[in-house]
Structure 1
Amino acid sequence: MTLVGRLLDQAAATPEAVALVAGDGTELTYGELQRQVLAVRHALVEAGLRSGDRVLFSVRPSPEAVVLALGVVAAGGAVVFADPGAGPEMFTARLRLARPRWSAAEAVLYAGSRLRPVRAYARRRGLLLPELGSLEVSGQGKLRHIYVGRWLPGVPRGALPFTTLVSGRAEAAGSGTGDPDAEAAVIFTSGTTEHPRAVVHTQASLAAALDLFRERLPLGPGDVVHTDQLMLGLPTLISGARWSMPPLSCSPAKFARLLEERGATHTFCVPVHLAEILEVRPTLPAALRYVLLGAAPAPPAILRRALSAAVPSAKVLSVYAMTEILPVAIASAQEKLAHTESWGGGDLLGTPLVKARIAPDDGELHLSGPNLCRGYLGDTPMTELPTGDLARFDADGRLVLTGRKKDMLIRGKFNLYPGLYEPAIAAIDGVTEAAIVGVPDSETGDEEVVLAIVGDADPERLRRRLPDLIDHDALPDRIVVLTELPRSGRSRKLDRDRLRDLVRGTP
């Protein structure tokens, strides 16, 4: 059965239960969710959406976004997630690769990309928006358009309003919910303007991913999952639980308040975001049973704070996943801290949920399984993913991350992998976060090794402590204390390039 088919079956079984709670508190029942998805599917097919059509998707997390995305996939289309704020050149390159036939965006985005005063305002704030309403694809002509929200000047002529799509006829689910092996989601992740990279997932690979989440993370009717993450929200809906969405602009204080008010039993946070929440609410609500951390490594200090903030019966879990294959491994905070405090080296990821092997030549982690994406858009299908991560198995068969191949520093004949040492340094009293970067030495060709820390640890005392914790050849040339580490993107991952610029020349 397809991903959409399983969700609609769950909706048919519990039509009166609340499926989605919007940021403003508006509720959508499973019965209404089912009706709206089927109505969107029917309306799009009637409007000319054909099997295999790609839909450029620029709608922020909301019930409307969920319904529209599911309706597109049910109609046989694929949702293309390409951030229009990435800049005109990158956006154009991604458009050229994806070749969508449709565009779905919020009315305010159409207006903002078309009206000169709004474009000028966005440009002053560093946001260069493409003119979505005028997009063309070579050989296909202009895109068809769907808009979400109240009509605004700048919405293309002939664009289909979401409100019309959901208010139309809803055919029975048995008449089709898409091909499980066809493209369902195209997610741009990295690359350059010359060579953009996009991950292609099918309904089958996404359904397998959701099954792995549900096996490791008990979910069912009565549970409330507070998140804006699609890959946690979808297993929530398939299990009959309630998906609670935070508002689009949600402060840590408001996020914490909604956890309490909505009776959340599960939540997902980027580690930095959780730290911000714990600043305003040191104790998490008693109803919260699972706190999932992901998208970036969780420093020991944050894991300790999360454990002390949660009720004794709650579980704090760290999820290791990649856009190409998710989830890969899940470890509890207690397991990760025990590994770090035993100076085991590297970051414990947990027992792999998929097939994992370590390349014998360079230690790179390779992954495969039913949740593996089809491949990269425009490339041949893949059967195994070379992750770019360096890892090893411990004595219990658990994966331990030792670094990134691209982050390797060169010091004489020694190859230094920051990820092997950063968790142990971050576990030292007074250190909140730690990161190692290299600043190239133009004379020797080696790299000056700089340790950047956040916290109140004294650099000289720290320097005396390090030889007992890390290899001699990994000892830093300099230690720099910062108020915070630079981060980027929604996942708030460490930005090593910016950090390198920050510490260059810093005494």
Structure 2
Amino acid sequence: MDSTIPAAVAEAAQRFGPAPALVEPGVGRWSFAELRDEVGRVARAFIAAGIDPGGRVAVWAPNTSHWMLAALGASCAGATLVPVNTRYTGVEAADVIGRSGARALMVTGPFLGADRLAALRATGAELPPVVVRLTEDWESFLARADEVPADEADTRAATVSPDDVSDILFTSGTTGRSKGAMSAHRQALGVAATWAELGGLSPEDRYLVVNPFFHSFGLKAGILACLLSGATVVPLPVFDARRALEVIAAERITVLPGAPTLYLSLLDHHARDAYDLSSLRLAVTGAATVPAALVERIRAELGFSTVLTAYGLTEAVVATMCRPGDDLWTVASTSGRAAGGMQVRISESDGEVLLRGPNVMLGYLDDPQATAEAIDADGWLHTGDVGRLDEHGNLTITDRLKDMYICGGFNVYPAEVERVLAEMTGVSEAAVIGVPDKRLGEIGRAYVVPRPGHGVSVIEVIQYCRERLAGYKVPRSVVMRRELPHNASGKVVKYQLRQEPAW
């Protein structure tokens, strides 16, 4: 296996040459040979712009060809990729871009009614020295490639080491402060190779990547997995059931991973039968409970021959995965067995899922304390999830030690939302939990204690959160209370709140 991303780009061009590597409907198509050439141009442009080896390049954009070209180009220039969540507000993005020390920012133009660069500037934060709007400035940025000889870029790519940091993926923790999980090139590619092998990816596959590129899954089990296997990346900027159905039919999509809500949206779309979905073969899901009935519907009604479930997290990406041929019970009730040389065990003291192996992150950026808390002296990553292993080594997640819940496939950390609410004038105390939701899996509910003499309305609380948090983090309901239940140490007893009716 290629040990660096630049080597993987070059090797893919040699192995798969004229085969389609990237197809963005309505925008463009690139073969693997053309992808190598275009990525080389991007790398030379980064070098011309002053990005040194190890420099960090932030990308804040939806799934597009621009994202993929910018990310691979940054890697081939020896830079470290810093993906930024497209759902972040300007404040959230400024925080992670600033703490990453990014020297360049590749940012989308107006998208879904929001101008992200304007939002970033409105925060007053200092921007990286290089800022490129991926639509308006892309061609002028690429023109800078002419300033750098091809052999200089080739030398830069060749000096990238398997142990160099390939990416920093920011993920919130129970403290509410985001942490940057660092991975090496060998780890990013190791995850990709594992996923590609277990999914049986090949040059015959056309992979609709709905999982965001900024997410570990979209980047590593998406872009990089296709690069190693010869499968075609077909990015979808925003998930819309009808648009997805159109692309599946038009591009003969074979592989479509996603959260359970994605499949439910396709299954329940009124016009589904009007589209030819016969090309679909592989579905991979997780991030929430997957009922056996849903697995059966994915197979029977959408036509997938293989449905798999998996478990991972940003700090390890793919830890366990089912295998083709596993029975319905295994796929629906477990997340499969350890994969890619990973080890899984359950803590005897509290049932926590512990992981160890080659793909566990290097650590958190500039946070040795958090790293030591996450990875113990024996190399075991403490996931914060509670689970059990069956006699075959299949993992079932049963609970969470952390308060984190999953809304539409995205992790939400209540402490982060509570920290925002604590800053709201008129709020004395707040607690946030996840409650079941048929469509999204879980949604947030905030319990708020107003300060004496202050009138705080439900609408005001939700609006306050909307202005400061990504949409999936905003509580969908608010309950006003005179007080919250506390234990002897003064902490809110959340299990009592969870026992209340979800209505």
Q: Same fold (TM over 0.5)?
A: yes
Does the C-alpha gap of structure 1 residues 254 and 453 become closer, same or farther in structure 2, counting only changes over 3 Å?
closer
Matched residue type, 1:308:
A
- For 1:205, the equivalent position in structure 2 comes to 187
Contact (CA 8 Å) 2:42, 2:142: kept in 1 or not? no
- For 2:281, the equivalent position in structure 1 comes to 289
Does the C-alpha gap of structure 1 residues 495 and 394 become closer, same or farther in structure 2, counting only changes over 3 Å?
farther
Contact (CA 8 Å) 1:390, 1:405: kept in 2 or not? yes
1:319 matched to 2:304: no
How far the C-alpha of 1:171 sits from its partner, in A, is: 2.3
Does the C-alpha gap of structure 1 residues 197 and 452 become closer, same or farther in structure 2, counting only changes over 3 Å?
closer
Q: How does 1:305-344 map to 2 (within 5 A)?
A: 305-311=297-303, 314-331=305-322, 337-338=328-329
Q: List alignment gaps of at least 5 residues for structure 2.
A: 211-217, 407-432, 445-465, 481-497
Secondary structure of the structure 2 residue equivalent to 1:225: strand
Does the C-alpha gap of structure 1 residues 113 and 274 become closer, same or farther in structure 2, counting only changes over 3 Å?
closer
- For 1:425, the equivalent position in structure 2 comes to none
Matched residue type, 2:219:
L
1:357 matched to 2:357: no
The Cα offsets for residues 343-376 of structure 1, whole Å up to 9 and x where unpaired, read as xxxx411111111111111110111211111111
1:175 matched to 2:146: no
- For 1:112, the equivalent position in structure 2 comes to 115
Does the C-alpha gap of structure 1 residues 335 and 162 become closer, same or farther in structure 2, counting only changes over 3 Å?
same
Secondary structure of the structure 1 residue equivalent to 2:106: strand
How far the C-alpha of 1:92 sits from its partner, in A, is: 3.7
CA distance in 2 between counterparts of 1:133 and 1:406 reads 31
Q: Which has the higher strand share?
A: 1
Match for residue 277 of structure 1 among 263, 266, 291: 266
Q: How does 1:100-499 map to 2 (within 5 A)?
A: 100-108=102-110, 112-113=115-116, 129-131=119-121, 135-136=125-126, 143-151=129-137, 161-165=140-144, 171=150, 174-177=154-157, 178-191=160-173, 195-228=177-210, 229-231=218-220, 232-246=222-236, 248-280=237-269, 281=272, 285-311=277-303, 314-331=305-322, 337-338=328-329, 347-353=333-339, 354-380=342-368, 382=375, 383-407=379-403, 454=438, 486-487=442-443, 498=476
Aligned residues between the structures? 410
How far the C-alpha of 1:484 sits from its partner, in A, is: 7.0
CA distance in 1 between counterparts of 2:145 and 2:361 reads 30
CA distance in 2 between counterparts of 1:398 and 1:107 reads 44
Matched residue type, 1:270:
A
CA distance in 1 between counterparts of 2:285 and 2:397 reads 16
Secondary structure of the structure 2 residue equivalent to 1:91: helix
How far the C-alpha of 1:73 sits from its partner, in A, is: 1.3
How far the C-alpha of 1:169 sits from its partner, in A, is: 6.1
Contact (CA 8 Å) 2:203, 2:232: kept in 1 or not? yes
How far the C-alpha of 1:499 sits from its partner, in A, is: 6.9
CA distance in 2 between counterparts of 1:183 and 1:81 reads 13
Secondary structure of the structure 2 residue equivalent to 1:253: helix
CA distance in 2 between counterparts of 1:80 and 1:96 reads 11
Matched residue type, 1:360:
E
Matched residue type, 1:131:
R
Does the C-alpha gap of structure 1 residues 165 and 337 become closer, same or farther in structure 2, counting only changes over 3 Å?
farther
- For 2:423, the equivalent position in structure 1 comes to none
Matched residue type, 1:275:
L
Range that drifts further, 375-384 or 300-309: 375-384
CA distance in 2 between counterparts of 1:505 and 1:339 reads 31
Matched residue type, 1:307:
R
Secondary structure of the structure 1 residue equivalent to 2:252: coil
The Cα offsets for residues 264-322 of structure 1, whole Å up to 9 and x where unpaired, read as 221112210111111122697222221111343323332221122244x7101112121
The Cα offsets for residues 400-446 of structure 1, whole Å up to 9 and x where unpaired, read as 211111359xxxxxxxxx99xxxxxxxxxxxxxxxxxxxxxxxxxxx
Does the C-alpha gap of structure 1 residues 160 and 145 become closer, same or farther in structure 2, counting only changes over 3 Å?
farther
Secondary structure of the structure 2 residue equivalent to 1:86: coil
CA distance in 1 between counterparts of 2:49 and 2:331 reads 56
CA distance in 1 between counterparts of 2:315 and 2:174 reads 18
CA distance in 1 between counterparts of 2:197 and 2:283 reads 16
CA distance in 1 between counterparts of 2:264 and 2:386 reads 27
Does the C-alpha gap of structure 1 residues 58 and 357 become closer, same or farther in structure 2, counting only changes over 3 Å?
same
- For 1:21, the equivalent position in structure 2 comes to 23
Does the C-alpha gap of structure 1 residues 334 and 310 become closer, same or farther in structure 2, counting only changes over 3 Å?
farther
The Cα offsets for residues 227-281 of structure 1, whole Å up to 9 and x where unpaired, read as 14222232112212212223x2442122122212211221112210111111122
Secondary structure of the structure 1 residue equivalent to 2:334: strand
- For 2:48, the equivalent position in structure 1 comes to 46
CA distance in 2 between counterparts of 1:398 and 1:506 reads 31
The Cα offsets for residues 438-483 of structure 1, whole Å up to 9 and x where unpaired, read as xxxxxxxxxxx999575xxxxxxxxxxxxxxxxxxxxxxxxxxxx8
CA distance in 1 between counterparts of 2:338 and 2:472 reads 24
Q: List alignment gaps of at least 5 residues for structure 1.
A: 120-128, 152-158, 342-346, 409-417, 420-448, 455-482
Range that drifts further, 194-203 or 233-242: 194-203
CA distance in 1 between counterparts of 2:403 and 2:124 reads 40
CA distance in 2 between counterparts of 1:81 and 1:329 reads 24
CA distance in 2 between counterparts of 1:99 and 1:303 reads 43
Contact (CA 8 Å) 2:91, 2:120: kept in 1 or not? no
CA distance in 1 between counterparts of 2:108 and 2:89 reads 18
Does the C-alpha gap of structure 1 residues 287 and 113 become closer, same or farther in structure 2, counting only changes over 3 Å?
closer
Q: How does 1:32-71 map to 2 (within 5 A)?
A: 32-71=34-73
CA distance in 1 between counterparts of 2:277 and 2:474 reads 35
Does the C-alpha gap of structure 1 residues 179 and 227 become closer, same or farther in structure 2, counting only changes over 3 Å?
same
Does the C-alpha gap of structure 1 residues 378 and 255 become closer, same or farther in structure 2, counting only changes over 3 Å?
same
Matched residue type, 2:355:
L
Secondary structure of the structure 2 residue equivalent to 1:187: strand
- For 1:83, the equivalent position in structure 2 comes to 85
Contact (CA 8 Å) 1:11, 1:240: kept in 2 or not? no
Contact (CA 8 Å) 1:22, 1:62: kept in 2 or not? yes
Contact (CA 8 Å) 1:56, 1:102: kept in 2 or not? yes
How far the C-alpha of 1:338 sits from its partner, in A, is: 2.1
How far the C-alpha of 1:335 sits from its partner, in A, is: 5.1
How far the C-alpha of 1:204 sits from its partner, in A, is: 1.3
How far the C-alpha of 1:174 sits from its partner, in A, is: 4.9
Larger radius of gyration: 1
